[in-house]
Amino acid sequence: MSLPTQFKLNTGAQIPAVGLGTWRSEPGEVRKAVSFALKNGYNHIDAAFLSTGLSDSFLELFPVKPDGTRSVDRSWDQSETWRQMEELYKAGKVKAIGVANWSIPYLEELKKKWTVVPAVNQVELHPFLPQHALKEWCDKHGILLEAYSPLGSEGLNDLQRLIWVFFGAPLMFDPAIQDIAKKNDVSPATVLISYHINRGTVVLPKSIKEGRIVSNSQVTSLSDEDMDVLNGLAAQGKAKRINTPLFGWDLGFDDWYKQ
Ligand SMILES: NC(=O)c1ccc[n+]([C@@H]2O[C@H](COP(=O)([O-])OP(=O)(O)OC[C@H]3O[C@@H](n4cnc5c(N)ncnc54)[C@H](OP(=O)(O)O)[C@@H]3O)[C@@H](O)[C@H]2O)c1
């Protein structure tokens, strides 16, 4: 079975199935990685936190306080931000609008006011955090999920990062994922990336290494049996959210930290 290289948005436009992640790449590194990726077949760059100068990119800014927590304006109604984004879309100034880190309770609230359904919802997604209920909700409403931290990210502190760099993120050395990799004669990273395309979601692996940027775009078709194993790992006690930035805000996911 050949896998899609693009998915259709609810606007009718196509979005490339694999995009390059850029979070925590150093400025010099990210320029090189993005330039290399664009020359090697990528035409989807996830540029949150950065200004790339690409006309198709969208700049997200999170003001951060000195203690590292996000500076959140609690008096602001997010549906007003969405209304303003809808205006941009309706005026033809942007091709599509979407959200990131939105859980079902928040989407249910937004749904009461939206006149444009978000095209995408970018969330942490991988076999340890498959978010089956959110996927079902978004599928039902025509919202495409985008998977961030698909490889298990980089670790949250210096020690984790050191271990991750030498041995790979925990997802990569999970025995079930390694078995599927061996069976399909591909790397664990390829299994983790391919999981999303086989599941019908966009995936955003980050790398600054040329070899990995190339190999991360080469996905493989996984059998129903392999997909069942990957989809079931979290329910077997391996559930794990890796990225819990200090938003200082309850994002409404069942496993989100309490304030
Ligand atoms: N909207 C949000 O709130 C949000 C939050 C988090 C992330 N994101 C987006 O999603 C992207 C991806 O998530 P992420 O950066 O957290 O983590 P990720 O893509 O899961 O993992 C990146 C780590 O995996 C390594 N890696 C990449 N390819 C590999 C391979 N083939 N084999 C072994 N290791 C490999 C990278 O190292 P090298 O670079 O050295 O290869 C890096 O250490 C981000 O970059 C960002 O664009 C969005």
Alpha-carbon separation of residue 194 from 83, 191, 224, 227 (angstroms): 35, 5, 13, 10
Q: Which residues contact 177 (CB under 8 A, 6 or more apart)?
A: 127, 171, 188, 191, 192, 230, 233
> Does any domain span residue 244?
no
Closest CA to 106 of 141, 130, 152: 141
Tokens of 234: 């979290």
Q: How far is the CA of 127 from the centre of ligand 1 (A)?
A: 15
Nearest Cα neighbor of 122 from 201, 49, 189 is 201
pLDDT at 58: 43
The pick from 34, 52, 206 for probing ligand 1's pocket by mutation, whose C-beta has the most ligand atoms within 8 angstroms, reads 206
Residue 195 is assigned to a structural domain of this protein: yes
In a domain, 247, yes or no: no
Rounded CA-CA distance 33/42 in Å is 11
For residue 3, tell me if it sits in a domain.
no
Residue found by looking up tokens 């061996």 in the block: 182
Best of 149, 174, 187 for a ligand 1 pocket test (most atoms within 8 Å of beta carbon): 149
Residue of 151, 177, 220 with the most ligand 1 atoms within 8 Å of its CB, for mutation: 151
| 179, part of any domain | yes
Whole-number pLDDT of residue 32: 95
Domain count of the fold of the chain: 1
Per-residue pLDDT of the chain (259 residues; tens, 9 = 90+): 789 999 999 999 999 999 999 988 777 899 999 999 999 999 999 986 555 444 444 444 566 777 767 777 878 898 999 999 999 999 999 999 999 999 999 999 999 999 999 999 999 999 999 999 999 999 999 999 999 999 998 876 777 777 877 776 789 989 999 999 999 999 999 999 999 999 999 999 999 999 999 999 999 999 999 999 999 999 999 999 988 777 777 889 998 887 6
Domain, as residue range, for 186? 13-236
Q: Which atom of ligand 1 is nearest to the CA of 208?
A: 39
Indicate which CATH number applies to the domain containing 208.
3.20.20.100
Query: In angstroms, what is the C-alpha Rg of the chain?
Result: 18
Whole-Å CA distances, 138 to 19, 107, 111, 256: 20, 9, 12, 19
What was the pLDDT predicted at 259? 62
Atom of ligand 1 nearest to the CA of 47: 47
Residue 251 lies in a domain: no
User: Is 257 inside a domain boundary?
Assistant: no
Looking at the DSSP assignment, which residues form a beta bridge with residue 242? Answer: none
Check if the beta carbon of residue 176 is closer than 8 Å to that of residue 192: no
Phi, then psi, of 160 in degrees rounded to 5: -60, -45
Q: Answer yes or no: is 107 within a domain.
A: yes
- Residue 177: both structure tokens together: 């994922």
Pairing of strands 14-16, 6-8: antiparallel
